[in-house]
Structure 1
Amino acid sequence: MSFDHRKYSPFVTVDKPDRKWPSRRIEQAPLWAAVDLRDGNQALIKPMSVAQKKRFFKLLVEVGFKEIEVGFPSGSQIDFDFCRALIEEDLVPDDVHIQVLTQSRHELIERTFEAVRGARNAIVHIYNATSPTFRDQVFNVDKEGCKAIAVQAATWVRDMAAQQPETHWSFEYSPETFSATETDFAVEVIDAVNEVWRPDQGQRVIINLPATVEVSTPNVFADQVEIVHENIRYREHVLISVHTHNDRGCGVAAAELSMMAGADRVEGTLLGNGERTGNMDLVTCGMNLYAQGIDPLIDFSRMKEIVQVVEEITDIPTHPRHPYAGDLVFTAFSGSHQDAIRKCLGLYKPGDIWRVAYLPIDPADLNRRYEEVVRINSQSGKGGVTHVLERDYGISLPRWLQQEMAKLVQTDAEEDGGEIDSRRVHQRFNSDYLEVPNGWTLRSYDLHRGEEGVQAQISIGDQRSPVTVLSGRGEGAVGALVESLNRRHGWQLQVEAFDEYSLGDNTEANAMACVRVQVGGHTQSAVALAADTTAAALQAILSAAGRMAEAQARKSA
């Protein structure tokens, strides 16, 4: 097996020192053309049936596409039948153009016009390969012969369209393999085609520039597009379109730079399905505009439906990290990411400019739930645990307890090797902090404040243990309880951390207290919910003390 890079040569860059596109910005959406039903379809192991094509076409129309390539009717009976069904069943809205592709041969062009007879708006798209590889090795023609093929096909298209005047025709020409063609020669062929079609006399013409195979970096392709934009005749009367592929993983970038270089129209497929590594992804390109405050003119709020239909028809699963569309694309497992997201979402108010760390767009715009954003595994930290408890259970923890609990949850995740859902995080919170040890439930308390501080009588116990009354004195209720526990158990218990919160009106609990106590170098934390802040504070101390007592009992057993 050989792996020898020396058999390849670098692509020759374009000499264009006066390039203008790098300083331009995209300020509006292009005219989109969806080619899922043709280019996407021919890449499938099992091509679409007529019924599947109808379902896909319906989705494309509903989300807003106005130009849709529906097939290659001269090369496939299914594509021909689908074209006829669209027209005869009146499935094409008045403002939608159906597009059909054909090679530059007379009988195939004739068959294509037959397929779209009676259409209100139709785009006939012809092509021939223009690059040196195809001229020399595939078709064995020189430049003049290559140009003659294009001119003859354009003439046939013009003449056949004139025989069906009831249809509003658009003509589209692609110098196939444009990205690998000498750009000056591509301009020469395009001008020859336009001399036949005469867009300056009212004929709608689309000049499509395909990166049939992506052979260079996107900036080089943008240079090529800009040269065509600046040099073809009748430029003000034609639409320049691009059709990029993803062989180098840059299909979207090439399309975006092409828009900066003068392209008016972009062809692609939903989720990038296409031959080899795929076509330019309309979802990513459109949503990139949306994330910059530009209306993409396509309704991507239906993202879940788009993904579902594409997956079911193509039988190609969507990568979970696919931009904007993947199941995990808005999900953060990293602790630092989660903490930043939680803080930003806490500050965001509807109507604000979206500025949330790690989330380029608001998931809600695509009907995604915020519950999907922060999920917990072994990479998560306090931010994720905190966010999950706040989001799903309305529980806010002090920073010291966030850190402590995050370590417990991380240990669980490392042991399991997978994700910990919010229900399990809540269960861990309950079992490790909220549950009251046997015999340590606060039954009642009586406080009297005098000159020497607070005198407290606190009754504890439950159905499984007798009631115990603790008496103590301190600066406050918590100090009085700590003094009584130390005297009763011979401890030197100290409160290391204490936070309490008012939870507002709630029939079950109005207050929460979080404490961490220390006895003899050992620490124990607890949380309590109660009707008032005093009861919550006392119960939190009791729960921590009870856990400490249980730990000592286990140690001495």
Structure 2
Amino acid sequence: MSRKIWVFDTTLRDGEQVPGAKLNLYEKVEIAQQLKKLGVDIIEAGFPASSQGDFEAVKAVAEKVGNTGDIMITALARAVQSDIDSVYNAVKYAENPMIHMVLGTSDIHVEKKFSKSKDQILQIGVDAVKYAKSLLPQVQYSTEDASRSDFEYLWKTIEAVMRAGATMINVPDTVGYAEPEQWGEMIAKLNYRMKNLDDSVLLSVHCHNDLGMATANSLAAIKNGADKVECTINGIGERAGNAALEEVVMAMKTRGDIYDIYTGINTKEIMNTSRLVSSFMGLDVQVNKAITGDNAFAHSSGIHQDGLLKSRDAYEIVHPEDVGLDDMELVLTARSGRHAVKNALSKLGFKDFSEEEFEGIFEGFLKLADSKKEVYNHDLYVIVENYYEKTEKNNPNSQCYSDQFYEINDLQIVSNSSFPSASVKVSKGTEVFRTSAVGSGPIDALYSAIAEVTQIPVKLVEYNISSVSRGQEALGKVKIIVEHEGEKYIAKAADTDILKASAMAYINAINSIVVAKINPVVIGEKATV
């Protein structure tokens, strides 16, 4: 029979330790609500003793998210009474609260960090567990820096705190030092001893990613008997981060033949959770990040696109729908092959091409792709119409609609503290529009000006800028998500001028909406958020 693996999410505690990622009370509660929707078993909501603000945030999570017994709320304490009191007073409002404490077991921590003997540290841990146990029935004890600890002393500590009443033992690879094979062997030995002592106590691991092995180490631990895994969304956390929840969960799900286990995670909420965390914390997800990166289900290679169109399993082991996306994304670039371009044209209704006509259209596609980097659906309409105008052939798809799409011709931005303003020149077919607008900032003014021209009402849901090259001439990439009539659309653009890139991204989003109105079945450029 498959065994359950408990998922402990520490995004709100370890994840928040990333410099600049501090969350306010409202944001913590919102993320906690989403984590509950995702189906995690335990939320570590913070470190209450660190500040009054964090105490109040943990308390709010306990009251508003932990108000049903199907999720456990905890927070971190050092093995001292005042910290334990802070955790208790913050999490006690949850229906299923737990106290989590941490104390080092490696020689480096015992001798250099605490300047105490091993026996003294062990007794501090036992006393702390006994005190916590007098407050709440659920107590987790973490043996910090376990991967660099003497094994027999580590076991002696675990045995002592289990006898003192700990209900969960967490074994952290605090500095990402572990190696999967050795780590797995150690977890197997601990699991054997713990189950013989008290098989009701859960064995947990908390792996850091300093050497890029956090996910591998977490999975090795699970294969060797660990009952629970501690993770963060998008793998965020101290230094190089933690094991990424989405990677661990999807690895277990995809390779069920290896692990024969299950979790309570609703994987269809993974992308929603990832984007919420990224947005609130201001931490962009690496584009090639497994599962939640922008490119995780995007394919631009012609060889890959051809294979995928013939059979999804040729290059796809995880279905994007399983993690909350609508579908895979075939990105049209100069590397795309004929099959991908023909497929994209077919979705737009362009199907009746002769071989000669398609080759001419494909040539136009390659020319645009070389200059524009990425080709959108609205570009395909223009390419088709340009081909027939240039060759003076009759267009079998007489209504190409290319004169309905917008293009940014010029812009001027004035940024100051009083009246940020923008002036734009936008064309639509043969029509040219000029307008100006003011806003709360330069981007707001720019988008207000473009909106005045297009008269397509949209709500800006997300706006991100990132650098895609270095130096003074660095390319700035802008990614936006807009909402129109209940649907969300994603668009991107890159330029050395980030304001121009911002305008281009907005125009691309508007044109995606126009495409959807022309052909409602086209959803390739809609966002899944």
Settle same-fold status: TM greater than 0.5. yes
What does residue 139 of structure 2 align with?
A: 171
> Deviation per CA, 1:304-343, whole angstroms, max 9, x where unpaired?
4213311222111122222222222211111111110111
For residues 366 and 182 of structure 2, what CA distance do their matches in structure 1 show? Answer: 48
What does residue 299 of structure 2 align with?
A: 332
**3-state DSSP class of the match of 1:172?**
strand
Kindly indicate whether the alpha-carbon contact (under 8 Å) linking 1:286 and 1:296 is maintained by their aligned counterparts in 2: yes
Deviation at residue 393 of structure 1 after TM alignment: 2.7
- Name the aligned partner's letter for residue 186 of structure 2: Q
What does residue 278 of structure 1 align with?
A: 241
Structure 1 residues 388, 434: CA separation in 2 closer, same or farther (over 3 Å shift)? Answer: farther
Q: 1:212 aligns with which of 156, 165, 174?
A: 174
What does residue 422 of structure 1 align with?
A: 377
Q: 2:190 aligns with which of 225, 228, 238?
A: 228
> Deviation per CA, 1:530-551, whole angstroms, max 9, x where unpaired?
xxxxxxxxxxxxxxxxxxxxxx
Deviation at residue 267 of structure 1 after TM alignment: 0.8
For residues 292 and 410 of structure 1, what CA distance do their matches in structure 2 show? Answer: 39
- Name the aligned partner's letter for residue 409 of structure 1: F
- Name the aligned partner's letter for residue 186 of structure 1: L
Q: 1:290 aligns with which of 238, 253, 274?
A: 253
Give the count of matched residue pairs. 391
Moved more, 77-86 or 183-192: 77-86
For residues 368 and 65 of structure 2, what CA distance do their matches in structure 1 show? Answer: 59
TM-score by length of 2: 0.68
- Name the aligned partner's letter for residue 363 of structure 1: P
- Name the aligned partner's letter for residue 88 of structure 2: F
For residues 255 and 303 of structure 2, what CA distance do their matches in structure 1 show? Answer: 25
Deviation at residue 70 of structure 1 after TM alignment: 1.4
Moved more, 332-341 or 102-111: 102-111
Q: Kindly indicate whether residue 316 of structure 2 is the aligned counterpart of residue 359 of structure 1.
A: yes
Moved more, 225-234 or 256-265: 225-234
Deviation at residue 65 of structure 1 after TM alignment: 1.7
Structure 1 residues 158, 405: CA separation in 2 closer, same or farther (over 3 Å shift)? Answer: same
What does residue 222 of structure 2 align with?
A: 259
Gaps of 5+ in 1: 1-25, 162-168, 198-203, 346-355, 442-557
Q: Considering only aligned residues, what root-mean-square deviation do their CA atoms show, in Å?
A: 2.8
**3-state DSSP class of the match of 2:138?**
strand
- Name the aligned partner's letter for residue 377 of structure 1: T
- Name the aligned partner's letter for residue 389 of structure 1: L
Q: Kindly indicate whether residue 375 of structure 2 is the aligned counterpart of residue 375 of structure 1.
A: no
Structure 1 residues 253, 283: CA separation in 2 closer, same or farther (over 3 Å shift)? Answer: same
Structure 1 residues 248, 35: CA separation in 2 closer, same or farther (over 3 Å shift)? Answer: same
Structure 1 residues 341, 119: CA separation in 2 closer, same or farther (over 3 Å shift)? Answer: closer
Structure 1 residues 413, 36: CA separation in 2 closer, same or farther (over 3 Å shift)? Answer: same
Structure 1 residues 364, 109: CA separation in 2 closer, same or farther (over 3 Å shift)? Answer: closer
- Name the aligned partner's letter for residue 228 of structure 1: L
Kindly indicate whether the alpha-carbon contact (under 8 Å) linking 2:62 and 2:90 is maintained by their aligned counterparts in 1: no
Structure 1 residues 40, 152: CA separation in 2 closer, same or farther (over 3 Å shift)? Answer: same
Report 1:75-94 matches (<5 A). Answer: 75-87=50-62, 92-94=67-69
Kindly indicate whether the alpha-carbon contact (under 8 Å) linking 1:381 and 1:407 is maintained by their aligned counterparts in 2: no
Structure 1 residues 124, 427: CA separation in 2 closer, same or farther (over 3 Å shift)? Answer: same
What does residue 344 of structure 2 align with?
A: 388
For residues 327 and 379 of structure 1, what CA distance do their matches in structure 2 show? Answer: 18
Deviation at residue 399 of structure 1 after TM alignment: 7.5
Q: 1:318 aligns with which of 278, 285, 296?
A: 285
What does residue 272 of structure 2 align with?
A: 305
Structure 1 residues 216, 64: CA separation in 2 closer, same or farther (over 3 Å shift)? Answer: closer
Kindly indicate whether the alpha-carbon contact (under 8 Å) linking 1:383 and 1:402 is maintained by their aligned counterparts in 2: no
What does residue 24 of structure 2 align with?
A: 49
What does residue 245 of structure 1 align with?
A: 208
**3-state DSSP class of the match of 1:144?**
helix
- Name the aligned partner's letter for residue 41 of structure 2: K
> Deviation per CA, 1:211-253, whole angstroms, max 9, x where unpaired?
1111132222212211211223524121001111111111111
What does residue 73 of structure 2 align with?
A: 98
**3-state DSSP class of the match of 1:37?**
coil
- Name the aligned partner's letter for residue 217 of structure 1: E
- Name the aligned partner's letter for residue 378 of structure 1: A
For residues 108 and 395 of structure 1, what CA distance do their matches in structure 2 show? Answer: 68
What does residue 72 of structure 1 align with?
A: 47
- Name the aligned partner's letter for residue 171 of structure 2: L
- Name the aligned partner's letter for residue 375 of structure 1: V
Report 1:461-540 matches (<5 A). Answer: none
**3-state DSSP class of the match of 2:98?**
strand
Structure 1 residues 27, 253: CA separation in 2 closer, same or farther (over 3 Å shift)? Answer: farther
- Name the aligned partner's letter for residue 204 of structure 2: S
Structure 1 residues 392, 91: CA separation in 2 closer, same or farther (over 3 Å shift)? Answer: same
What does residue 440 of structure 2 align with?
A: none
**3-state DSSP class of the match of 2:119?**
helix
Structure 1 residues 396, 329: CA separation in 2 closer, same or farther (over 3 Å shift)? Answer: farther
Deviation at residue 256 of structure 1 after TM alignment: 0.8
Structure 1 residues 394, 64: CA separation in 2 closer, same or farther (over 3 Å shift)? Answer: farther
Q: 2:97 aligns with which of 122, 143, 149?
A: 122
**3-state DSSP class of the match of 2:286?**
coil
Deviation at residue 87 of structure 1 after TM alignment: 4.7
Structure 1 residues 90, 272: CA separation in 2 closer, same or farther (over 3 Å shift)? Answer: closer
Deviation at residue 440 of structure 1 after TM alignment: 11
What does residue 107 of structure 1 align with?
A: 82
For residues 437 and 337 of structure 1, what CA distance do their matches in structure 2 show? Answer: 35
For residues 319 and 247 of structure 1, what CA distance do their matches in structure 2 show? Answer: 16
For residues 354 and 321 of structure 2, what CA distance do their matches in structure 1 show? Answer: 28
Deviation at residue 364 of structure 1 after TM alignment: 2.9
Kindly indicate whether the alpha-carbon contact (under 8 Å) linking 2:74 and 2:87 is maintained by their aligned counterparts in 1: no
What does residue 160 of structure 2 align with?
A: 192
Structure 1 residues 295, 188: CA separation in 2 closer, same or farther (over 3 Å shift)? Answer: closer
Kindly indicate whether the alpha-carbon contact (under 8 Å) linking 1:381 and 1:406 is maintained by their aligned counterparts in 2: no
Deviation at residue 271 of structure 1 after TM alignment: 0.9
For residues 248 and 395 of structure 2, what CA distance do their matches in structure 1 show? Answer: 61
- Name the aligned partner's letter for residue 184 of structure 2: A
What does residue 411 of structure 1 align with?
A: 367
- Name the aligned partner's letter for residue 364 of structure 1: E
Please identify the structure whose Cα radius of gyration is greater.
1
- Name the aligned partner's letter for residue 268 of structure 1: C
TM-score by length of 1: 0.65
Deviation at residue 135 of structure 1 after TM alignment: 1.8
**3-state DSSP class of the match of 1:99?**
strand
Kindly indicate whether the alpha-carbon contact (under 8 Å) linking 2:28 and 2:61 is maintained by their aligned counterparts in 1: no
Structure 1 residues 117, 428: CA separation in 2 closer, same or farther (over 3 Å shift)? Answer: closer
